[in-house]
Amino acid sequence: MRVVREQAGRAAALDAADELRAKRAEFVLDTPDEPDGTVYLDGNSLGALPRTVAPRLAAVVEREWGLLRIRGWREAGWWGAPERVGDRIGRLVGAGPGRIVVGDSTSVNVFKAVVAAARLAGEGRDEILVDAGTFPTDGYITASAARMTGRLLRSVPAPELAGAVGDRTAVVLVNHVDYRTGRLHDLPAVTAAAHAAGARVVWDVCHSAGALPVGLDAHDADFAVGCTYKYLNGGPGAPAFLYLRPGLQPRFDSPLPGWNSHADPFGMAPVHVPADGAARGRVGTPEILSLLALEAALEVWDGVDLAAVRAKSLALTDFFLHCVEEYVPRGRVTCLTPVPHGERGSQVSLRCEAAAAVMKELAARDIVGDFRPPDVLRFGFAPLYTSFTDAERAARALAGVLGR
């Protein structure tokens, strides 16, 4: 118990930081008929609902759509929302204004980025590398992009990518954080290695955006894609985002040139002339309701220091791992998440026999995480609203289930 008490003392000091302490109150989390509330540790799959979203959506539906109707594109600012919301996300992933456009799904944006990156490659670059543990859709999309562009697809373990890239490599697709294990991959090193070999990199930051500093501009990333319904709390099916490095924007040749990415979208010309800047990443009509819900959700990030978010994330996951070690019977779980801070995202993945049944029993005890086949329990720690009490309760409940 001593190590748990000592760690709790250090963690409590972080939890009291002014920039994060009041953030939980800005989310709808607790179940009214449960005195202790539900412990929600699945923000790495679907973020909690910010209190700003419902009234904003009501206003959009009732006033902007209901009264303004078509005038909403101009008078309510709908048309510029993909870039405006993109700039808000930019602060959270280290991207300056005009680098990010919001719209479409992560899968569609992966396709745009990988094909466009392949089109930038010079002669003789006939392979596309993808990290072996990539999220399945990323793998499917990249395989299709390789077929379409006449490249070979090679799967390489993420820690080996920096050494695998060479003069035949056109594009490298990497997940910044592994969705199964929570391992954080080395964005600066892989990007630098790819550039030294003359290749481009596409980063999937779905499991890092909103959980830790990403530094897209600082590390000279070429392209990045990310979803907004995890740590950014945009809601189910919220639109994804696409990052285009400024120096590459004039050369970004989208494989999906839609009317919304045209330099003169209302000119209805028969030939596509791409717009300037990040707007080249648009395709069709923006998803206004979900886009404006996301914009309202992002208000909870106003004034938040990402360094404090990262510090709390690491303290939470450290504390949870200590509690699991202290409470859970020996040999019942194995941690898949790296212990070193530089290799860890904001989740803890535990290998466990009968993991699906264990997670079902945890849910019955109001502990919400998730399960990945065949045997992985995942617990996501969203620093804005997850508390150290949540972490301790979850570990204690896990011990109760596994100790029966």
Q: Is 228 annotated as a binding residue?
A: no
Q: What is the 3-state secondary structure (H, E, C) of the chain?
A: CHHHHHHHHHHHHHHCCHHHHCHHHHEECCCCCCCCCCEECECCCCCCEECCHHHHHHHHHHHHHHHHHHHHHHHCCCCCHHHHHHHHHHHHHCCCCCCEEECCCHHHHHHHHHHHHHHHCCCCCCEEEEECCCCHHHHHHHHHHHHHHCCEEEEECHHHHHHHCCCCEEEEEEECECCCCCEECCHHHHHHHHHHCCCEEEEECCCCCCCCCCCCCCCCCCEEEECCCCCCCCCCCCCCEEEECHHHHHHCCCCCCCHHHECCCCCCCCCCCECCHHHHHCCCCCCHHHHHHHHHHHHHHCCCCHHHHHHHHHHHHHHHHHHHHHHCCCCCEEECCCCCHHHECCEEEEEECCHHHHHHHHHHCCEECEEECCCEEEEECCCCCCCHHHHHHHHHHHHHHHCC
Q: Is 285 annotated as a binding residue?
A: yes
Beta-carbon contacts of residue 115 (< 8 Å; ≥ 6 apart)? 145, 148, 149, 254, 255
Active site residue 229: yes
Active site residue 204: yes
Query: Which one of the listed residues 40, 135, 223, 319 is annotated catalytic?
Result: 135
Active site residue 135: yes
Q: Is 82 annotated as a binding residue?
A: no
| Ramachandran area for residue 69 (φ above 0: left; ψ -120 to 50: alpha; else beta) | left
Q: Is 106 annotated as a binding residue?
A: yes
Q: Is 73 annotated as a binding residue?
A: no
Active site residue 230: yes
Active site residue 320: no
Q: Is 207 annotated as a binding residue?
A: yes
Name the one residue in this structure whose structure tokens are 């003789």. Answer: 124
Name the one residue in this structure whose structure tokens are 């990007």. Answer: 191
Query: Which one of the listed residues 229, 231, 252, 381 is annotated catalytic?
Result: 229
Query: Which one of the listed residues 183, 200, 280, 378 is annotated catalytic?
Result: 378
Q: Is 126 annotated as a binding residue?
A: no
Q: Is 259 annotated as a binding residue?
A: yes
Q: Is 322 annotated as a binding residue?
A: no
Q: For residues 140 and 321, give the distance between their C-alpha atoms in angstroms, rounded to a whole number.
A: 34
Q: Is 203 annotated as a binding residue?
A: no
Q: Is 135 annotated as a binding residue?
A: yes
Query: Which one of the listed residues 112, 200, 230, 393 is annotated catalytic?
Result: 230
Query: Which one of the listed residues 131, 204, 222, 370 is annotated catalytic?
Result: 204
Active site residue ranges: 135, 204, 229-230, 378
* Binding site residue list: 106-107, 135-138, 204, 207, 229, 259, 285
* Binding site residue list for pyridoxal 5'-phosphate: 106-107, 135-138, 204, 207, 229, 259, 285
